[in-house]
Amino acid sequence: MKPVALLDGGLGQEIYRRAMNVTSLLWSVAVMREQPEVVTDVHADFIRAGARTLTLNTYAATPTRLAREGLGDEIGAIHQRAFEVLERAIALAGAEVDIAGCLPPLVGSYREQPARTFEDLKSEFDVLVKLQGGADVFLIETMTNSLEASAACAAASESGKPFGVAFRLEADGKLRSGETLAEAVEAVKASGPTAIMLNCCDPEVISLAMPELAGLFPCTGGYANAFKTVEPMAGGALVDELEARPDVSPGLYALQVKQWLEDGAAVVGGCCEITPEHISHLADVLTDEYRLIKFSELARR
């Protein structure tokens, strides 16, 4: 059977939804500081659902974002807490899974290319790679421009660990920077990613783009969101203002994911608003046709 790496789902959004009375630009990181047990429970639910690779809850914990909120001095403690809550969940679930370090956009999601140099961006990603040195793999997520993606890939590649990079496409099939998918792939492939993926797009956008992506790189994947629109957050609003699409049920999502696999994907999972229920259903429907593996096992093929 074809091996498929199964990631978790929309970690940050699931944490935020379960938290009590937390509203913050730091999103699920703010929850982790105040209610760490919520984060452990979400991780554990994704593991029980069948995810083989679990991402650290550090998406909003970049040096830039923490400094902006006056928490720059706590960056080490926040990353340590992220490991602690995930390791506790792994112990509770009794499963053997990958811990994935998270290398996100440094300023915020859904932005255009930052007015920074490659060297400046890479130095900040270097900090994150060092802080997450205990991870088994790295996932570079929600990239909207090739400059930031290239800097993240350079930092991840120096860790010597498997890593994947995922771009977000707009409805027109291009990155928010205006670059094409082919241009984005060309910019990062020399750094040696294990997989090049698409994430945090509408499922339909990934379905349209996956055949092209599979022709551009040997190991590909996708994990979509289920937001109605991300534009409020792109403009700097809180995640509170985003709404979920009621039509993206576990069954419908699994149909989209199976199409990506038929078109060549080898890594799947979910992004914002894709719940443990979605991942559980996905694991169930894929088990008969695919061998579900950890992301790190792709690098050994």
164 token code pair: 């994947």
Helix 250-262 / helix 276-286 crossing angle, nearest 10 deg: 50
Tokens 């400059």 identify what position?
147
User: 219 a known binding residue?
Assistant: no
Distance between CA atoms of residues 255 and 102, nearest Å: 27
**pTM for the full predicted model:** 0.94
Dump pLDDT digits (tens) for 119-159. Answer: 999 999 999 999 999 999 999 999 999 999 999 999 999 99
Contact assessment for residue 266 and residue 298, using Cβ atoms and an 8 Å cutoff: yes
Distance between CA atoms of residues 85 and 78, nearest Å: 11
Strand partners, 137: 100
Q: What b-and-e string marks burial along 66-100, b requiring 16 or more CB atoms within 10 Å of the CB?
A: beeeebeebbeebbebbbebbebbbeebeeebbbb
Please name each of the domains of the chain with its CATH number.
1-295 (3.20.20.330)
- Please check the confidence at residue 236 and state whether its pLDDT lies above 60: no
Question: 259 CB contacts (<8 Å, ≥6 apart)?
Answer: 207, 210
User: 153 a known binding residue?
Assistant: no
Dump pLDDT digits (tens) for 26-77. Answer: 768 888 998 999 999 999 999 999 999 999 999 999 999 999 999 999 999 9
Dump pLDDT digits (tens) for 156-213. Answer: 999 999 999 999 999 999 999 999 999 999 999 999 999 999 999 999 999 999 999 9
User: 271 a known binding residue?
Assistant: yes
